[in-house]
A and B are shown apart, each in its own frame.
Chain A
Amino acid sequence: MVESVKESNSSNISNKNIKPIVEYKKVHKSFGDVEVLKGLDLNIFPGEKVALIGPSGSGKTTIIRMLMTLEQPTSGEIIVDGKNLWHMEKNGKLVPASEKHLREVRGDIGMVFQHFNLFPHMTILQNCMTAPVQVQKEDKESAKKRSIEMLEKVGLGDKLDNYPNQLSGGQKQRVAMARALVMRPKIMLFDEVTSALDPELVGEVLEVIRDIAKEGEMAMVLVTHEMDFALEVADRVIFLDDGVIAEEGKPSEVLEESNNERLQQFLYRFRS
């Protein structure tokens, strides 16, 4: 199954000559005795929008958490823009990556979390501009200007001096997206970003993601339960089941035409 999937994977990408920006090579991940990923091979291309779907425990969140360096793979390699993420070369040998190496390689990756994780002791504006100033050593004025622009873009230009706990869940998540975007990542990871929101607030967050996706140049990996949204935004949908890619392809193929039984079962629960 995995082998045939690999072929369809590359056929989905119009230009086979483009180098992937992220490559997972035979990645395994275990938590204690539980193996959540069983040899993942996956390429993500620059600008590509990938939706990861699957039942809980299928390993989809783990995939992006490993890329953000929040979890370490048990074995296998992850290559980001040609550079090995979890290993580095030292005296001609491959050794586990140091914090310095991780910082170098993950600089192009941004992430938005299910529970927002805004910094509660900072205003909305400070939340956005601290990292560009501290991490990327950007000039304070220019970071401020870009942060304000970004917050305006997500519709929160009037909340600059508010603190996170003064915002609704949807507003918090939009700040979190602005905060990640100000860092100008080449790859953005979305970890079930609407799951913690009240149903009536989901729309405003999806709206922002839709806008970001339209701009195009950034690769996006979305772990999501919003099937209609995946259908609309994603270039490719990957269905994970029991630690392996069970089905993948264009959204319409996967979500509407697939005969995979497990996938059908999974989708059934979302279509009332």
Chain B
Amino acid sequence: MTINWKWDMFFEAFPFILQGLGVTVGLTFACFLFALIFGFVWVFLRRIKFKPVNWLVTWIMEFIRSTPPLIQLFFIYYAWPMVPGIGVSLTSFESAIIGLGIHFSTYIGEVYRSGIEGVDKGQWEASTALNFSTRQKWTKIILPQAIPPTIPMLGNYLIIMFKEVPLASTIGVVGILSLAETYGTDNFRMLESYTIVALIFLALSYPSAILINKLEKKMNRRFDKKAALQDSKGAVV
């Protein structure tokens, strides 16, 4: 049995499937933005010291993380509109943003938390001693130190989300996967169609991963580098 591969069909399918890239990438960034913002909500909800609230928030986060994102998408798109009183009917694109956005926000919230906990306790004490307001402590002192080290981790989540976005095709978001399906079934060319989808993902994910890797190395060196620069001038011991 020889492999049934037709290059002419491959090159015909390619531009057709590529049309969906805008939607796929757009949805990725929309979900990511949603998750970035909502991640902060989790961080602040978890900092509420009132025990019942704390338990509730922890439990909800655990629940969201332990449920497959596909089920969450189905729930938001198909089941949520049926809930009397609070149910709202959303487009598939909106459902995907909210579903995947909330799912990943629980992970991104954890990333933020690790960044915040990585800031030395002395930084809080010094900002109290200088009488900064709670808001100023966060915006001027803590977050500017907590967020930069998390950027590589956030970048990794962006790539992971990019790879999860095809799930949205199940609720009717027409990205590259949906178009590949359409082309494949219409022309009986599944092999070429899905190969193209895989190649597009590879072409975007792999360079991004390399980029993030470099960024991470640069971040790690950031503070040391300033010191190293100074050392070379011989200004400081």
Q: Does B79 contact A (CB under 8 A)?
A: no
Q: Which of A107, A121, A135, A180 meets B136, CB within 8 Å? A: A135
Q: Does A69 contact B (CB under 8 A)?
A: yes
Is A68 a contact of B129 with CB atoms below 8 Å? yes
Docked Cα-Cα span, A134 to B132, in Å, equals 7
Is B136 a contact of A70 with CB atoms below 8 Å? no
- Are A183 and B131 CB-contacts (below 8 A) given A166-B227, A166-B236, A167-B236? yes
Q: Does A38 contact B (CB under 8 A)?
A: no
The A interface, classified by DSSP as helix, strand, loop or mixed, is loop
Is B122 a contact of A115 with CB atoms below 8 Å? yes
Interface string of B107-148 (1 = CB under 8 A from A): 000000000000010110110111111101000110011000
Docked Cα-Cα span, A179 to B131, in Å, equals 12
> For residue B129, which residues in chain A have a CB less than 8 angstroms away from its CB?
68, 70, 109-111, 113, 180
> For residue B227, which residues in chain A have a CB less than 8 angstroms away from its CB?
165-166
Q: How far in angstroms is the closest Cβ of chain A from B149?
A: 11
Q: Does B83 contact A (CB under 8 A)?
A: no
Docked Cα-Cα span, A103 to B235, in Å, equals 39
Docked Cα-Cα span, A113 to B128, in Å, equals 12
> For residue A180, which residues in chain B have a CB less than 8 angstroms away from its CB?
129-130
Is B145 a contact of A120 with CB atoms below 8 Å? yes
A100 nearest CB neighbor, chain B only: B133
Interface string of B134-172 (1 = CB under 8 A from A): 101000110011000000000000000000000000000
Q: Does B223 contact A (CB under 8 A)?
A: yes
The B interface, classified by DSSP as helix, strand, loop or mixed, is helix
Q: How far in angstroms is the closest Cβ of chain B from A184?
A: 12
Docked Cα-Cα span, A202 to B226, in Å, equals 25
Total chain B interface residues with beta-carbon distance under 8 A = 25
Q: Does A162 contact B (CB under 8 A)?
A: yes
Docked Cα-Cα span, A106 to B133, in Å, equals 12
Q: How far in angstroms is the closest Cβ of chain B from A71?
A: 10
Docked Cα-Cα span, A109 to B235, in Å, equals 34
Q: Does A84 contact B (CB under 8 A)?
A: no
Is A163 a contact of B128 with CB atoms below 8 Å? no
28 A-B pairs with C-beta separation under 8 A: A69-B128, A99-B133, A103-B133, A106-B131, A107-B131, A111-B129, A113-B122, A115-B122, A117-B120, A117-B122, A117-B123, A119-B123, A119-B126, A119-B141, A121-B145, A130-B130, A131-B132, A134-B136, A135-B133, A135-B136, A162-B236, A163-B223, A163-B226, A165-B226, A166-B236, A167-B236, A168-B237, A180-B129
Q: 5 more A-B contacts (CB under 8 A) besides A68-B129, A131-B130, A131-B131?
A: A70-B128, A107-B131, A118-B126, A134-B136, A163-B223
